Amino acid sequence: VPTCLAFAMNLAAGKAELSSCPHVSEEAKAKLEEASAPPIRPVTIGAGEGQVKIGGETVLFRHEKRFENPTAIAMLVRDDMSDDEIAARLEKFRTLRYERVGLILKPDMVALESASGDPERFAQVAARIHADTGGAAMILMSDQPAVLARALEAVPGSRPLLYGVTTENLEAMLELAKAHQAPLGVKGESIDEVIAASQK
């Protein structure tokens, strides 16, 4: 580009990368990168080839620009389903594909809900999902930290999303998340509860 101003306009419009400028200092680069960081923080769920990235966007609406990390689709499995029902769901997870406006949509994650309240059954189903899907990203759903902890032992290194954090279980869930480098999903009775838990 002919001038710094022209480059800055391209940068602001998202048509240029800051690394393209040979003259910017490391100090200025750090300040500019911080100021232009996406308002939606990126989060990685899962590990290896099955991982799913969400967030990290600089826009809120699809018409403004393409999404870098499109919304992920999860298929729900409950631990109180029969083994045959679970097998059928996982088969659908592996094969379901449909086209919409030129995009091929498919499930990206499996959401496992603890409906039984039994930590051993929950862990058993989590291990089965992990094995049968080739390590697909998972959402482990329970507000009981002990139930989630047992499942995390059954699928080590899988880095699932742990859902959900409440004001009652916040401290225990934070410890689980730190120990397993796992992202957390937060829920609450009001937006204020969700904001307070998220900030913590």
pLDDT, mean of each 10-residue run, the chain (200 residues): 87 78 85 71 90 81 70 95 97 93 90 97 98 96 97 96 95 96 94 91
Q: Which two tokens stand for residue 162?
A: 């742990």
> Do the bridges between strand 43-45 and strand 98-100 make them parallel or antiparallel, or are there none, so unpaired?
unpaired
Position 13 scores a pLDDT of: 73
Question: Chain centroid to CA 157: how far?
Answer: 15
Is the four-CA dihedral 97, 81, 133, 135 of positive or negative sign? positive
C-alpha 162/C-alpha 152 separation (Å) is 10
Which residues are registered as beta bridge partners of 52?
A: 45
